[in-house]
């Protein structure tokens, strides 16, 4: 079974802190994604990565950065956390191209910024 894991299920941070969210997948997928999910807004793409050391901005990249040094790991970084970044963060991975229509999601990290 494909497994996507995220470093924490729940996280509480203070405003201004630097926050790292880690995601690891075990299926050798080239593509990895970070979404945030808020009530009524669905899943919004923050950043994605086609392969190691490659990254592309999604629809809402402001306030976030990412790192992909190894194929299996994709990190989301909040440089200076703010209360409007309180959300559920979901990581996903897939095989690229037409064969990769299925994304596999991690369990999510519920981040609260106080």
Provide the binding-site residues for other proteins, judged by CB under 8 A.
33, 35, 40-45, 48, 56, 58-59, 90, 94, 96, 98, 101-108
Q: How far is the CB of 53 from other proteins (least distance, A)?
A: 17
Q: What are phi and psi of 79, to 5 degrees?
A: -65, -40
* Residue 93, both tokens: 């991975």
First to last CA, the chain: 37
Rg (CA), the chain: 13
Q: What are phi and psi of 51, to 5 degrees?
A: -170, 180
By beta-carbon proximity to other proteins, the closer residue of 17 and 56 is: 56
Distance of alpha carbon 63 from its chain centroid, rounded? 13
By beta-carbon proximity to other proteins, the closer residue of 19 and 90 is: 90
Q: How far is the CB of 17 from other proteins (least distance, A)?
A: 25
By beta-carbon proximity to other proteins, the closer residue of 75 and 89 is: 89
Q: How far is the CB of 55 from other proteins (least distance, A)?
A: 12
Q: How far is the CB of 87 from other proteins (least distance, A)?
A: 15
By beta-carbon proximity to other proteins, the closer residue of 15 and 50 is: 50
- Count of CB atoms situated within 10 Å of the CB of 94: 22
């Amino acid at each position: 079974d494909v497994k996507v894991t995220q470093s924490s299920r729940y996280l509480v941070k203070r405003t201004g802190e630097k926050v790292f969210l880690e995601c690891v997948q075990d299926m050798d997928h080239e593509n990895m994604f970070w979404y945030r999910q808020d009530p009524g807004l669905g899943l919004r793409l923050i950043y994605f990565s086609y392969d190691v050391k490659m990254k592309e901005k999604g629809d809402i990249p402001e306030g976030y950065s990412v790192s992909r040094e190894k194929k299996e790991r994709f990190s989301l970084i909040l440089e200076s956390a703010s209360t409007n970044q309180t959300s559920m963060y979901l990581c996903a991975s897939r095989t690229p191209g037409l064969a990769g229509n299925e994304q596999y999601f991690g369990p999510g990290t519920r981040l609260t910024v106080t």
